[in-house]
Amino acid sequence: MNVAIFASHNGSDLQAVIDACRKGKLKARVCAVFSNNSDSRALLRAKEANIDSYHVSAKVYGNEYVMNNEILKLLDAHQTDIIFLAGYLKRFGHDIVKKYHNRVFNIHPSLLPKYGGQGMYGITVHQAVVKAQEKISGITIHRVNDEYDRGEIVAQTTVPVLPYDTAEILAARVLEREHEFIVEVIGKIVDGDIPIG
C-alpha cells in the first residue's frame, strides 16, 4: 500500500512509519512526503530515505487552487492509496479530501472530541489538558473532512496524565506513544480492519 505523508515540522511520526516499512513491520511504503514548510525536518527525513518529497505552499504555486491541483497530480503520479496528515498544520484541500474520500487520515494528540478544532495543535493541546487536570489524555486517528478534527474517529489510544506533568512532559509521553500508534493503525488499514473503500 502506498502512503503519502504530509508534515509541517519535525516529522518524527513520518520517521516511525519509514522505519516500520523498512523493517517489514508494515506491508506498505511511503511513496511521497509533502510539507508546507521548506525548512521542515520531514523533508530532510524523506531525502535521507530516498523518498520523493515536495514543498507545497500557496506562495510557491501562487494560490491554493493551483497548489491543490498540483498536489492531486503528484498523488496520482505516486499511485497513492492513503494519505496521512502527521503534524500537518494547514487546512487540507477540499478537492483532495473529495477525491481520496475515506482515505485521508489525521493523527491528533488528544482524545477527540476533547481538545480539538481550529488552533488546537501541538503544545496548545497539552497545555489545555494539563490546565483541565485531566487524568487521561491520548491520541486520536480520524478521517479528514472539511471541518477541523471532526471526521470519523477510526482509532484511539490513551496516555496517562500524571500529577507532576507539565505540558512539555505530557507532550513527550504522547509523542512516544504516537510513534507506535501510527504504525499500528496503518497496519490495520493495510490489513483491511479499517476500511478505505
d(CA 121, CA 39): 19
pLDDT (0 to 100) of residue 112: 98
pTM: 0.96
pLDDT (0 to 100) of residue 152: 97
46-50 own/partner pairs: CB under 8 Å, 24+ apart: 46/11, 46/14, 49/18
**Is the distance from CB of 44 to CB of 35 less than 8 angstroms?**
no
Q: Active site includes 78?
A: no
Please give the distance of CA 185 from its chain centroid, rounded to a whole number: 12
**Is the distance from CB of 84 to CB of 5 less than 8 angstroms?**
yes
Q: Are strands 82-85 and 2-6 parallel, antiparallel or unpaired?
A: parallel
Question: What does the pLDDT profile of the chain (197 residues) look like in tens digits?
Answer: 999 999 999 999 999 999 999 999 999 999 999 999 999 999 999 999 999 999 999 888 889 999 999 999 999 999 999 999 999 988 889 999 999 999 999 999 999 999 999 899 999 999 999 999 999 999 999 999 988 899 999 999 999 999 999 999 999 999 999 999 999 999 999 999 999 97
- End-to-end CA separation in angstroms for the chain: 13
Phi (first) and psi of residue 123, to 5 degrees: -65, -25
Compute the C-alpha angle 50/109/176, nearest 5°: 60
Q: Which of 78, 94, 101, 108 is catalytic?
A: 108
Q: Which residue's entry shows cell 497545555? A: 127
